[in-house]
Amino acid sequence: MDHKPFIATPGETIYLKDYSPNFTGDFPDKGKALPKLRADVKRLAKYQETLYAQDTYALLIVIQAMDTAGKDGVIRHVMSGVNPQGCQVFSFKAPSHEELDHDYLWRCNRALPERGRIGIFNRSYYEEVLIVRVHPKILELQHMPPEAMGKDIWGKRFDEINGFEKHLVRNGTIILKFFLNVSKEEQRQRLLARAETPEKQWKVSLRDAQERAHWDKYMHAYEEMLNNTSTSWAPWHIIPADHKWFTRALIADIIVARLKSLKPDYPSVSDEHRQEIAKVKELLESEFLPKP
């Protein structure tokens, strides 16, 4: 699958109107996409095992989207074959009092994946240039010094995030960033479906419906985010999200391709280690020798 059409090319101006949320590429329907997804889930499990054994790189997956765009479903379906020991998922909600007493990157920095592991951020530090930008009163809760405020606060945060990610990449953390691009009408249909489905009603929130009044502000904030933080070391992928089956298949394909490019492999065994293995085999096999 060609991933270039979905990359927010660094340096080029991004307009979300140019990216169709309804696009499904070469897959006319769900039935054609599912076999590809299943195959990539198996490949991902294999690459995760070698990534863990190699213990050189970490993979950080950042997922941002409007509500109902399918973030949870992507994590559940794409990562279904991954060993839980090598994968960590963090969902960042409203910050706690402790988190508010630190800089906005602190809580995400604490949750970064170790070498050999995959970390998934379901929302992330990018909320600080999205929901906080749409609802600037949130800044009043962050106990920030006056010199950190001002009209240039968003530009400063873009620079800080870019520097933070560059540091991570330079030190062996691969970053894959996905913006799930759902249409306003599809979101309305999904919110209605939640309200009408008993087993999904626990997800229903009045706030989700009320936030739709700020849709245009959110789209502007997302465009600003994409234009200012899609970099050569950590580009954004704009993923069509009106068809969940395509969203999952595309993201799985991108993750597998990136891991494959690392050429992860099991660590080589030294001559000294081979001698140790021979002794281990000798000891284990001697346990079954008949007593004289």
CA pair distance 155, 142, nearest whole angstrom: 18
CA pair distance 94, 20, nearest whole angstrom: 30
Query: What order of strands is seen across the sheet that includes strand 118-122?
Result: 87-91, 118-122, 58-65, 173-181, 236-240
- Cβ atoms of 99 and 156 within 8 Å: the answer is no
pLDDT at 292: 61
CA pair distance 91, 120, nearest whole angstrom: 8
Q: What's the pTM?
A: 0.93
* DSSP E strand boundaries for 116-263: 118-122, 173-181, 236-240
pLDDT at 146: 86
pLDDT at 291: 66
* DSSP E strand boundaries for the chain: 58-65, 87-91, 118-122, 173-181, 236-240
pLDDT at 47: 95
Please state, as a whole number, how many other Cβ atoms lie within 10 Å of the Cβ of residue 94: 10
pLDDT at 268: 84
Which residues of the chain fall short of a pLDDT of 50?
Answer: none
